[in-house]
Amino acid sequence: MITTKNPYNNQEIKSYKYHSTKEVENILDKAEQTFITWKTVSIKKRTSLLENLANKLEDNKEEYANLMTTEMGKPISQSIAEIDKCIWLCDFYIKNAEDFLADNIIKTDAKESFISYDPLGVVLAVMPWNYPFWQVMRFAVPSLTAGNVGLLKHASNVTGTALAIQKLFKDAGYPEGCFQTLLVDHNQIEDIIESNILKAVTLTGSEVAGKNIAAIAGKNLKKTVLELGGNNACVVFDDADIDKHITTMVKARMQNTGQSCIAAKRFIVSDKIYDKFLNRFKEEITNLKSGNPSEEDTYIGVMAREDLAEELEQQVKDSVKMGAKIYYGGKRNKAYYPPTIITEVNENMPVFKEETFGPVAAVIKAKNNDQAIDLAVNSRFGLGTMIFTENTSKIYDVINKIPDGALFINDMVKSDPRLPFGGTKASGYGRELSKEGILEFVNIKTVYINQ
């Protein structure tokens, strides 16, 4: 039995029964049968359904936003923004999917030769709770538009959201088996991946979960895309305009109560500008309103579960034992962890080495800009890096030194439907969004027609 709880007041929301083995088999069978006809539907028809999807998202925006806020504690204004981003995603593929999936004519010795982009089939998405609509939609929208069908194993604490997304696709006019939610535990995942019906898996989640899924999928020769944890650096060069960018820097760490894989977790600041950065950063986060996530002016809510706040607290405590200082914040109250600044941080501490999934900013002083880059790339993760500098002409010398999936200059790392999104190293592989994302789950097929 799955029971969802409101993390702000700890009240139970609803209980759900797990799908039985037979129900899972029926869901897989329905997906397989739906794919037979869905793959033959024209791309133009699929994009017309995307228009319906966007309209349904707009019509039910408040309902969906309140559901996310209730289930995982996201401040309501940020929940609204999440639905708006999903609408943007739909609009992007409405305009571009036909071009992305069009046959690519290649001139050879043949009468005709081209590359055809054919859907793979049934794709399983294992998704996290932190962006419960966006993470699912950025998989589902391009994948279904390419002609695949989707199965969703969502995080159990957002089960209501998972079922709402399933209903959303149905209400938008998609065939019933095009997008289905699986109410299963992790023990059932291996059997699902091993099914001959399933053709590929995508996961957004922890490094541990990614390794487990990749091992099962690899054993069964199933394609995978993994978007895993991050330990993003926010590098502040000595010529950075702190006053101009401080709001962005704070948002890069504190948005979604710090529960984001692409959040800035390590602030690596050149010595020359360190004191000013620290003072301004503290000033800004002091003004962030914490409280009831259902109130429009709340910026910092509770974390999604109390055990997650406890885990974050332990990472801070362990770092303090090693010599770090709590410069601001640091006192947990159940599932609430306040915006916190940690200083005197070195490369051996948990707040430097590990992913801190919550509103904790580790601030590290660098001797100069070169050392700041060296510290930034000292990470097992490779999701994204941001650099703040007024001398953007010199940034081209730095680009190839950053091995991450994204490098943002004078802005926070963020996902954008127009740009590919994904990581390197322990942050995973494969790409979502843009043209690259819609081509992840297609068969790139050579067609050669001779005289």
For residue 237, the model assigns a pLDDT of 98
103 three-class SS? coil
Segment (H or E) for 24 = helix 21-38
Residue pair 322/348 in contact (Cβ under 8 Å)? The answer is yes
For residue 186, the model assigns a pLDDT of 85
Fold type of domain 232-416:
Aldehyde Dehydrogenase; Chain A, domain 2 (3.40.309)
Closest CA to 123 of 432, 333, 384, 380: 432
For residue 335, the model assigns a pLDDT of 96
Angstrom distances, CA of residue 55 to CA of 166, 178, 406: 15, 18, 31
- 197: which 2 tokens? 């019906």
- CA angle, 302 then 305 then 308, to 5°: 100
Mean pLDDT of the chain: 97
How far apart, in whole angstroms, are the C-alpha atoms of residue 151 and residue 237?
A: 45
Q: Which residues pair with 122 in a beta bridge?
A: 149, 198
- What is the pLDDT confidence band of residue 283, given thresholds at 50, 70 and 90? very high
pLDDT at 142 over 90: yes
pLDDT, average across residues 284-295: 97
Under the phi-then-psi rule, with left for phi > 0, alpha for psi from -120 to 50, and beta for the rest, what region is 361? beta
- What is the pLDDT confidence band of residue 120, given thresholds at 50, 70 and 90? very high
For residue 236, the model assigns a pLDDT of 98
Closest CA to 360 of 402, 385, 332: 332
For residue 2, the model assigns a pLDDT of 96
pLDDT at 299 over 90: yes
* Residue 147 DSSP class: T
* Residue 299 DSSP class: -
269 three-class SS? strand
110 three-class SS? coil
Does domain 2-228+427-449 correspond to CATH entry 3.40.605.10?
yes
63 has catalytic annotation = no
pLDDT, average across residues 130-140: 98
Closest CA to 404 of 234, 284, 221: 234
Number of helices (H), then strands (E), in the chain:
14, 20
pLDDT at 331 over 90: yes
Using a pLDDT cut of 70, give the percent of the chain over it. 100
For residue 13, the model assigns a pLDDT of 98
How far apart, in whole angstroms, are the C-alpha atoms of residue 106 and residue 109?
A: 10
pLDDT, average across residues 64-77: 98
For residue 134, the model assigns a pLDDT of 98
For residue 42, the model assigns a pLDDT of 97
Residue pair 181/152 in contact (Cβ under 8 Å)? The answer is yes
pLDDT, average across residues 412-436: 98
For residue 451, the model assigns a pLDDT of 84
For residue 187, the model assigns a pLDDT of 86
The reply to whether the predicted model has a pTM over 0.75 is yes
Catalytic residue among 71, 82, 227, 306: 227
For residue 428, the model assigns a pLDDT of 98
**Structural domain boundaries of the chain?**
2-228+427-449, 232-416
